[in-house]
Amino acid sequence: MAKLGKRARAAREAFAGKENVTVEEAVALIKANSSVKFDETVEIAMNLGVDPRHADQMVRGVVGLPNGTGKTVRVAVFARGAKADEATAAGADIVGAEDLMETVQSGKIEFDRCIATPDMMPIVGRLGKVLGPRNLMPNPKVGTVTMDVEAAVKAAKGGEVQFKAEKGGVVHAGVGKLSFDEAKLVENIRAFVGAVSKAKPTGAKGAYMKKIALSSTMGPGVSVAIEDANVE
């Protein structure tokens, strides 16, 4: 096992014995023990009592964080004509149709969110093997297959976060930057947890939320009391 550096060891010691704390306590602890020179992302990981291999236990959704993510989101839009113009005017970084499909097929994926108008889905569908594993495939359930291109682009740029249960029933996402005020991070975290709570699938049995942990990009995690995080 590799030796921990002084910085990592000090952070681990600061977090030792602190479990199931309030969201406020977790955020304060994470902020106080960051020692890197860049603005870390505050990340949330939620262990849910679901098996996403079953359709009736899939957890998927989208939430607009009240204070944004602090991250610049690059948006690609599959559209033609007036809708392509609408996407460009709304601030989309890349807009196209067959030409964009060919760019993606070549392995050049320079975007973080992909939106498409419904008529573009036959084209986008060919990219399933490329976009699917990266969680970039447009989906009407999270508002990325839509005729309201302007609203979708602005939402993506404005702090909207998608979530999806991965293998083992884990949902994870970035919920802000460490430079955010503590109150803003707390508000974002509770908004995210609330959205995941509302997305509870019909097939979920037993305890839905098993564990919630917060961390910074380079820091250790701290578990948060579920009843404190999920106040909605």
Contact 123, 80 (CB under 8 A): no
Report the CATH number at residue 87: 3.40.50.790
Q: Maximum CA pair distance of the chain?
A: 59
Question: Do residue 151 and residue 189 come from a single domain?
Answer: no
Q: What are 174's two structure tokens? A: 């970035």
Contact 197, 212 (CB under 8 A): no
For tokens 């070549």, the residue is: 106
In a domain, 127, yes or no: yes
Q: What are 224's two structure tokens? A: 């948060």
Q: Which of 208, 201, 172, 211 is nearest to 57 (CA)?
A: 201
Question: Do residue 114 and residue 151 come from a single domain?
Answer: yes
Question: Do residue 59 and residue 92 come from a single domain?
Answer: no
pLDDT at 175: 95
Provide the domain limits for residue 211: 18-69+160-229
Contact 23, 186 (CB under 8 A): yes
> What residues contact 9, with CB distance under 8 A and at least 6 apart?
none
pLDDT at 141: 87
- Mean pLDDT by 10-residue block, N- to C-terminus, for the chain (232 residues)? 54 64 94 88 96 92 92 95 97 97 94 96 95 92 94 92 91 95 97 95 92 92 91 64
Question: Do residue 79 and residue 116 come from a single domain?
Answer: yes
In a domain, 10, yes or no: no
Question: Do residue 165 and residue 149 come from a single domain?
Answer: no
Number of domains in the chain: 2
Strand segments, DSSP code E, in the chain are 41-48, 60-64, 75-78, 94-96, 113-116, 160-164, 170-177, 209-216, 222-224
Question: Do residue 64 and residue 169 come from a single domain?
Answer: yes
For tokens 């602190």, the residue is: 18
pLDDT at 13: 62
pLDDT at 7: 57
